[in-house]
Amino acid sequence: MEEVKQHKRRGKLPKIEVVDLFCGIGGLSYGMKSKGFHVLEGFDVDATCRFAYETNNDAKFVDKDIRKVSKEDISPLYSKKSIKVLAGCAPCQPFSSYAFKNKNKDEKKYSLLDEFGRLVKEIQPDIVTMENVPAIASFKLRSVLADFVKVLREENYHVRYQVVYCPDYGIPQTRKRLVLLASRLGEIELIPPTHNKENYVTVRDTIESLPPLKAGEGCPTDALHRCRALSPLNMQRMLATPYGGSWKDWPEELLLDCHKKEGGKSFGSVYGRMVWDEPAPTMTTLCTGIGNGRFGHPEQNRAISAREAALIQTFPTTYQFFPDEQSVSLSKASRYIGNAVPPRLGEIIAESIKQHIRTTIA
C-alpha cells in the first residue's frame, strides 16, 4: 500500500495489471487495455479464442480450466508495485432463464463462480471485477452470487454490484448486465452513466455507413461484413416484414406453425427488423440469423452481418477475430461476438477502477 501511495504523491497512478478469467476473445481485456491497463494473461477453456485474444491484447492466452488454475499460475504474473486486478465473466448460460426450466441441470457449471472466489482467496488481488447476466442475482437453485459476495467480504473487500443498462454507457444495444466491483483499498462503484435517452448511441450511428448487402453477399473490402443467405420462403417473410416489424405482420400463409400456437405469441421480436434511431437488441451467439430475434436489417432484406454485430458489440473495425476472415463461418463469428463482453463496458469498468484509485489512495 505504501508503494501505491508514493505513486499518488508523485501525481500519477501506479501501474494497473489485469489477469482475465473466462477471457474468451478478449472484449473485457481490450476495453481495459484501451484505458491504459496492462493485461498480463487471459484464461479460457476455448482454445480457438487464442488468436483473437493474443493478437488484440498483446497478452498471453492460457487454455486451462479454472478448476485447475491455482495461485502459482497467476500470482507470479503481477509486479510488486502494481495495482493487481483479477477480472472475469463466468459463463452466463447456467444462469439464463433456460436454466430455471431445465430439469437436466449440470451442477458443475454453477461452481465456476466458486472457483473464481477460491482464486480471490488464494491470490488476494487489490481489486476484483465480475460481469454476468442479471439473473445470477436471483438464481433459484442456490445463492451463487451471494456466496461469491460473502467470500469477498470475508476477505476484507468492499463490494458493490448493480445491473447496468448498456445504452446508459454508450453501448448501442439494450443489453443488461450485472457488474460487480470489489476492492481492498476502500469503497468502489461504477462511474455515473455517460448517456441518456436523449443521446443513446443508435443502430443508425453504428452501422448505417456500411456498404449495403444482399442476403448471402459479402463486402469485397471487409471480410467480416457478410450475411447469411435466405431461402426463398424466408425471403418472402423478410419482404413481408415492415420497418420495425416482425412475424406478427405477416400474412397467414407465411407464419410458422409455432407462431400459430398460443405459446408462440410471446416471441414477438423473432424475424424482426431493427429500428434506426434506437439501440439494437442484445447481441447473442445467434445474432446473424433472422429467426433468432430482432436481427433483421432496418431496411435491407437480410439479417445483420458479422461486422454489424461486432460494431454493435463495440468492437472496433481493427479488431482481428481470425487469421483468415475470408474462410470463417458466420456461426463461429456470431458465437465469438455474442459471447463477448462489449469492449466499451470494459472501458467503463476500467475508468471506474481508475477513479476509485484516485479517490481512495490518500
Tens-digit pLDDT profile for the chain (362 aa)? 555 555 555 567 899 999 999 999 999 999 999 999 999 999 999 999 999 999 999 999 999 999 999 999 999 999 998 999 999 988 755 444 444 444 444 455 557 999 999 999 999 999 999 999 898 887 655 688 999 999 999 999 999 999 999 999 999 999 999 999 999 999 999 999 999 999 999 999 999 999 999 999 999 999 999 999 999 999 999 999 999 999 999 999 999 876 666 555 555 578 999 999 999 999 999 999 999 999 999 999 999 999 999 999 999 999 999 998 888 789 999 999 999 999 999 999 999 999 999 998 75
Rounded to whole angstroms, the Cα distance separating 153 from 34 reads 30
Active site residue 89: no
Which residue in this structure is represented by grid cell 424466408?
234
In the chain, the N- to C-terminal Cα span, in Å, equals 10
Residue 100: the pLDDT is 42
2-197+342-360 and 203-339: identical CATH topology: no
Residue 141: the pLDDT is 53
CA 354 to chain centre: 21
Residue 49: the pLDDT is 96
- For 221, other C-beta atoms within 10 Å of its C-beta total 7
Residue 67: the pLDDT is 95
Residue 92: the pLDDT is 53
CA 79 to chain centre: 28
Residue 140: the pLDDT is 57
Overall fold of domain 2-197+342-360? Rossmann fold (3.40.50)
Residue 268: the pLDDT is 58
DSSP letter (8 states) at residue 142: S
Which residue in this structure is represented by grid cell 466491483?
181
Rounded to whole angstroms, the Cα distance separating 96 from 331 reads 21
Residue 96: the pLDDT is 45
Contact between 49 and 23 under an 8 Å Cβ cutoff? The reply is yes
Contact between 264 and 286 under an 8 Å Cβ cutoff? The reply is no
- For 46, other C-beta atoms within 10 Å of its C-beta total 17
Report the CATH superfamily, name and number, of domain 203-339.
DNA Methylase, subunit A, domain 2 (3.90.120.10)
β-strand pairing of 222-226 with 218-219: antiparallel
Q: Where are the domains of the chain?
A: 2-197+342-360, 203-339
Residue 362: the pLDDT is 57
Q: What is the DSSP string of 74-116?
A: HGGGS-TTSEEEEEE---SGGGSHHHHH-SS--GGGGGHHHHH
Pick the closest to residue 338 from 27, 8, 3 (CA basis). 27
Contact between 167 and 193 under an 8 Å Cβ cutoff? The reply is no
User: Among residues 23, 89, 92, 287, which one is catalytic?
Assistant: 92
Residue 313: the pLDDT is 98
Number of DSSP helices (H) and strands (E) in the chain, helices first: 13, 9
Residue 295 backbone dihedrals phi, psi, to 5 degrees: -110, 15
CA 26 to chain centre: 9
